Amino acid sequence: MRKKKKSLVFIITLLIMCFGIGYAYLTTTLSINGVTDVDANNWDVYFDNANVTTGSVTGDQVIEAPTITSDTEVEFHVRLKEPGEFYEFTIDAKNDGTIDAMIDSITKKVNGGTTIPAYLRYDVTYQDGQSIENKHMLAAESLETLKIRVEYRTDINPSDLPTSAQSLTLSFDVEYVQADENAGPRILYSFILASTNPIHVGDTIPASGDDSYNYLVSSDPSVVGARYEFFSKHYMSGTIIQKNSLIFYYNNVAYELLGGDSGASYERNKQVVNNMVTALGIDFNCNDYSNSYSCRSTVYNGLNNWYFDVYDDGRVSISKGSFYVEISADGSSQTDDMS
């Protein structure tokens, strides 16, 4: 039913009686004229291209493979019989529209609640393992590949095992909205293992196969930490380097020295260096100078020749023997084998 509207009209009668000489009005008209052309736009964010990962359960344990039931919904149904079994697949979140999108909310539930049973691992991440977070941008005409994994855990106590068969309803909702000024691309990491050229903030990460660099793109320092104790880390938006730092990886723990911050991270880096020294368990000589802090192993041989240095101008460096990694004051990264 249409709402009724009532209008109040005021009628004012103004009577001006002029006597004597009349005056002409003084007038100026200011005009702004323009034409605005508005381009056509469309909003088109949807799921596409589901692929099951090798090693997932197969056969009659897959009751329903990942199926895109509508552009924005995916369904699957699997049976995990024993600890260690898993089911994993990837799916593309695509933006084929002309408007940038961003994540506005994320909801993960099991049986309608947020508590996940101790025997189950249920993860939804980007394909490289990085967490999906609010404000991550999905730019127009781009895609992000998501990874969904459900696993019957092995790292549990016998008391955590279900005593009867369970049927669990899993849900994961990601809401995309039009991007605003708070949106930003997710940050990827590239780990530079060795390079013959400095790597600067603002540079494009070198192309795969460039003989001047040996690097990996990942969100997990353990990917290279298993083979290299320290290396430089580069935060990338797309393929452009935004920030450089150093990683010291020891006993499955990554210690990060932030470089190129013009002294803003000096006290923090000093603490990280001391944490490194404690982790190594080697006798170190640490000194606090007027503009730097240095910890050096007191046993100078091939095994224990460690140097950790941080400077109040933003420089940080780590060396062991002849191998040396530094972030300079301007934020550039350099790795060098001084042998």
Q: Is the pLDDT of residue 188 over 70?
A: no
Q: Is the pLDDT of residue 208 over 60?
A: no
What is the mean pLDDT of the segment spanning 178-183? 89
CB 311 within 8 A of CB 291: yes
pLDDT band at 38 (very low <50, low <70, confident <90, very high): confident
CB 102 within 8 A of CB 183: yes
d(C-alpha 288, C-alpha 12), whole Å: 84
Instruction: Locate the domains of the chain by residue range.
Output: 45-178, 187-337
Length of the chain: 339
Residue range 139-171, pLDDT digits in tens: 888 888 899 999 999 888 888 888 888 888 988
| Amino acid, single-letter form, for residue 161 | L
CA distances for 248 relative to 158, 282, 330, angstroms: 37, 15, 21
